Structure 1
Amino acid sequence: MDLNVLLSNRLAGYLGQDAHGHPTFRYADSWRQTPGAYPLSLALPLTENSAPAATLSAVLWGLLPDNEALLQRWASRFQVSSRNPVALLSHVGEDCAGAVQFVRRERLAAVLAGEDDRQEALSLHEVAQRLQRIRVDQIAARQPDDVGQFSLAGAQPKIALMQRDDGGWAIPAGRIPTTHILKPPSGDYDGFVENEVFCLRLASQLGMSAASTEMICMEDAQAIAVTRFDRVRTAQGWQRVHQEDFCQALGVMPHIKYQNQGGPGPADLARVLWEHSSKPRADVERLLQALQFNYLIGGTDAHAKNYSLLIGAQGNVRLAPLYDISSALPYAHLQQRKIKMAMKIGSHYRWWDVRLADWEATADGMTLDPQKALSGLFDMATQLPGIARALLAELQAEGMRHPVLERLVDGISASCQRCLRQFEQSAT
């Protein structure tokens, strides 16, 4: 089984399998010679003639859902193995994270020529039905007779759609990309939609780069609508922008995304940025700021797959906007003294145990100035409660009044006060 790999609507390489079923990949010579060519992954340099199977597997699995039940359902629908990423991508790989498309040989000419470019409009009722269904059955995100195909990484239920100029929704096909990700509420956490919208807007109001989100309601369905930062509108229409998460960039399988399971930590992510970013110091400092923000808001799921890189022409690499941020603080059943961070801060995973010395050690491990890191943490802890309270009033005025928001703001204020007390104690 051979798949053509497209980047920015151009043939960039070939994906296949060896005699043992291991994935293989090689870049097309024409892509290597293209001005502004960029790699499929930082773990798969353009200069390499072949990719190690383990590294390539990590890159491919990073494009697929982190949900075994969904993979099994896909395997049954498409009559392939759920453990074969090449086979799965042959059915769902024409719209993935970033600029990559995996296209079967018989479809290549039609896709490149735009012959399959189309949009299948969905009524609000149809979108609402899909959002309701995927809460209990993720495979319902796509129907057997849908045009186009997509794959979204991660464990949460979600669907990828294109928002039309009239504000309606559609399923695109061919070269036309999806533009938004819609995520329904989590069954485990009341107010999850409001929580994530609040946290991402809070990051933006603090001056951090974060994905644009809003809460949408259609009939009885509610969802977070996330504008994809790996899509851009041009005079020629919507275009894909390449990206990958840090697990992919490091060749780490997605099931070990948490540091305490052997996954990457802050120093590993910083090393990637120091080696590859077009503005390394600025991006490493942004990464540290993101870690501190997640700490202060109780964002415990900020693992390596929830940080990404934007990869542009001629090796231009930058830290991507923040996404998938939510807080554990509003939920009383998640005991604050026991919750753990996705990445270790200094010597600790437990959120409650993190001290100023741990931030100094983390900054040092990221090759940053520890004292400057503490100064940034102090400033953020000082500013955050007031900004959060103002944002709460703003969202309530917009009609978002879930009680989780009051608990969230109170939790953030208490977290910041606890952090500031550490500064007071260190000064005495």
Structure 2
Amino acid sequence: MTTLDVFLEGVEDPIGELLKLDSGSLRFRYVRDDPPHPISLSMPVREEPYDDVAARAFFDNLLFENIQREQVMQRHRLEFGDTVGLLRYLGKDCPGAISVVPQGDGPAKVPGQFATDYDVIENLDQIMISLRDTRRLPLETSDPSPLAGVQGKIALTRLPDGRFALPKPGLNVPTTHILKVPRRQDMRQVEHEHLLMEIMGDVQNHPVAQTSIFGEGDLQALLIKRFDRVIDGHSVRRLHQEDFCQALGLGPTLKYQRAGDGEDTFSAKRVGQLLDKLGAPAGARQAFLEGTLVNLLLGNTDNHAKNHALLYYGPRPELAPFYDVVPTILDGSVLHQLSFDIGSACMTDDITPEDLITFVEALGYRRMIPALKKRLGAITANIVGRIPDMRGPARKRIGDAIAEQAQWVAAALELDLDIPERDLVVIVRP
């Protein structure tokens, strides 16, 4: 049997243990009954251990499929499904404030002090070029916080004077920002995502991740401020977060509704049940509904369970800011099926007024009252009103995506809107 300690930053002793039994199955158990909060809504604090299904669903989602995981698998001859074996080497820097380390090693994560714990980056241009051209960091640059995704990324820290820095070697202190650098041919993705994040923030009331464009020409990046950090004067600490796959007890391969079966799926009903457990369920429900509508209108059909998260400021979590709002409908190489059904519809152009009502009720509303429908209509009209301004090499395609999506959303809301005619977007169907 192999045992790993599970820590939360700021708590000196382990709050739990992850065990791999001789049979290969996993168990997780809390070793104290007074942690500041559970590690997941899917695993409330209790004395009885959690079985393989529950433990694997949460901890598998901590393991990104990136180059570091591949290197660890090859170096230590580990199988892809050896969760405990992989976390033994990769668990020091899991997402959020959690860490999973060999038994007896002590806490892996500590708060950072800007004045003493970071080295200023002197070669940021070279790092960006390497990420753009190879999707990897230069050999001499260590990765302080490996990240998921297909784009080249690096986690870094912005110091109070504006300079960028990395944690000093051997210190597992927090980073504050993520820098995403696309390939040269995909450089417009930077402006697209930044624009969509701005629109998302403008038209609904829930917070969004703060973004800015860094660089110019054929060397640009999207700079994203991490929302799971708390800066207090000259120090920074992590907040625990979990994505919706973890909170719903779903493995990482079940991030789309179409991948699940029965109750084990990312569906509106399951999301509604999850939102009921939050610190402010009514506000979270309204935010999720409006965020879903805006994602649809902006052409983001890849709004899956790992692109939603919860933040733990206290015992009951809150809905995290929205992030990863990208116009996937412009990508003709991916499926444009919705990440979760709207009523019985799995494509935007299939949504009917009845589907919207069913979706709203599945999220936990008693019914679609006139005021709620009016609010959704106002958001739709606001976004449609931006289409004429979407011109030029980078923004025209965004206008095309909005025009394509808005015609179906407006019909489902029974709105009479003057939607400008734009070039049609090619829809990729199942």
- Under a length normalisation based on structure 1, what TM-score does the superposition of the two structures give? 0.83
- Equivalences for residues 17-416 of structure 1 within 5 A: 17-29=20-32, 32-33=33-34, 37-66=36-65, 71-77=69-75, 79-105=77-103, 107-108=105-106, 118-123=117-122, 125=123, 127-135=124-132, 140-141=136-137, 146=142, 149-172=144-167, 174-185=171-182, 191-206=188-203, 207-217=205-215, 221-235=219-233, 237-262=235-260, 263-274=265-276, 276-313=277-314, 315-330=315-330, 333=332, 339-368=336-365, 369-371=367-369, 372-386=371-385, 403-413=393-403, 415-416=405-406
1:49 to partner: Cα distance: 3.1
For residues 186 and 266 of structure 2, what CA distance do their matches in structure 1 show?
27
Q: Give, as a single letter, the amino acid of the residue that structure 2 aligns with 1:412.
A: I
Query: Which structure 2 segments of 5+ residues have no match?
Result: 418-430
What residue number does 2:428 align with?
none
The verdict on how the C-alpha distance between 1:131 and 1:259 changes in structure 2, with shifts beyond 3 A counting, is: farther
Q: What root-mean-square deviation, in Å, do the aligned CA atoms of Structure 1 and Structure 2 show?
A: 3.2
The verdict on how the C-alpha distance between 1:113 and 1:42 changes in structure 2, with shifts beyond 3 A counting, is: closer
Q: Is the 8 A contact 1:95 1:178 kept in 2?
A: no
The verdict on how the C-alpha distance between 1:205 and 1:8 changes in structure 2, with shifts beyond 3 A counting, is: same
For residues 218 and 119 of structure 1, what CA distance do their matches in structure 2 show?
26
1:382 to partner: Cα distance: 0.9
Secondary structure at the counterpart of residue 224 of structure 1: strand
Q: Give, as a single letter, the amino acid of the residue that structure 1 aligns with 2:193.
A: E
The verdict on how the C-alpha distance between 1:166 and 1:157 changes in structure 2, with shifts beyond 3 A counting, is: same
Q: Is the 8 A contact 1:62 1:153 kept in 2?
A: no
For residues 224 and 112 of structure 2, what CA distance do their matches in structure 1 show?
26
Q: Is the 8 A contact 2:61 2:252 kept in 1?
A: yes
Secondary structure at the counterpart of residue 26 of structure 1: strand
Identify the match of residue 13 of structure 1 among 16, 41, 50. 16
User: CA offsets, 1:194-233, max 9 Å, x none?
Assistant: 2111111111111331101112128953221111111110
For residues 182 and 347 of structure 1, what CA distance do their matches in structure 2 show?
38
| Structure 1 range deviating more: 357-366 or 166-175 | 166-175
Identical aligned pairs, as a percentage? 28
Query: Which structure 1 segments of 5+ residues have no match?
Result: 394-401
Q: Is the 8 A contact 2:360 2:368 kept in 1?
A: yes
Secondary structure at the counterpart of residue 348 of structure 1: coil
How many residues were matched structurally? Answer: 402
For residues 187 and 337 of structure 2, what CA distance do their matches in structure 1 show?
20
Q: Is the 8 A contact 2:192 2:395 kept in 1?
A: yes
Secondary structure at the counterpart of residue 354 of structure 2: helix
| Structure 1 range deviating more: 37-46 or 178-187 | 178-187
Q: Is the 8 A contact 1:66 1:254 kept in 2?
A: no
| Structure 1 range deviating more: 13-22 or 300-309 | 13-22
| Structure 1 range deviating more: 416-425 or 206-215 | 416-425
Q: Is the 8 A contact 1:330 1:404 kept in 2?
A: no
Secondary structure at the counterpart of residue 5 of structure 1: strand
Q: Is the 8 A contact 2:211 2:222 kept in 1?
A: yes
Secondary structure at the counterpart of residue 385 of structure 2: helix
User: CA offsets, 1:58-110, max 9 Å, x none?
Assistant: 2112122145x663233224554333222322323323322112334464278
Q: Give, as a single letter, the amino acid of the residue that structure 2 aligns with 1:326.
A: V
The verdict on how the C-alpha distance between 1:365 and 1:379 changes in structure 2, with shifts beyond 3 A counting, is: same
For residues 78 and 47 of structure 2, what CA distance do their matches in structure 1 show?
30
Q: Give, as a single letter, the amino acid of the residue that structure 2 aligns with 1:61.
A: D
The verdict on how the C-alpha distance between 1:77 and 1:120 changes in structure 2, with shifts beyond 3 A counting, is: farther
The verdict on how the C-alpha distance between 1:120 and 1:17 changes in structure 2, with shifts beyond 3 A counting, is: farther
| Structure 1 range deviating more: 239-248 or 106-115 | 106-115
Larger relative helix fraction: 1
1:184 to partner: Cα distance: 1.6
User: CA offsets, 1:129-187, max 9 Å, x none?
Assistant: 3444345655x3485873x7434344544222222223232222535211112222167
Q: Is the 8 A contact 2:111 2:174 kept in 1?
A: no
Q: Give, as a single letter, the amino acid of the residue that structure 1 aligns with 2:302.
A: D
For residues 138 and 41 of structure 2, what CA distance do their matches in structure 1 show?
30
What residue number does 2:420 align with?
none
- Under a length normalisation based on structure 2, what TM-score does the superposition of the two structures give? 0.82
User: CA offsets, 1:315-338, max 9 Å, x none?
Assistant: 22211110111113445x479xx8
For residues 86 and 249 of structure 1, what CA distance do their matches in structure 2 show?
20
Q: Is the 8 A contact 1:3 1:15 kept in 2?
A: yes
For residues 362 and 179 of structure 1, what CA distance do their matches in structure 2 show?
36
Q: Is the 8 A contact 2:57 2:250 kept in 1?
A: yes
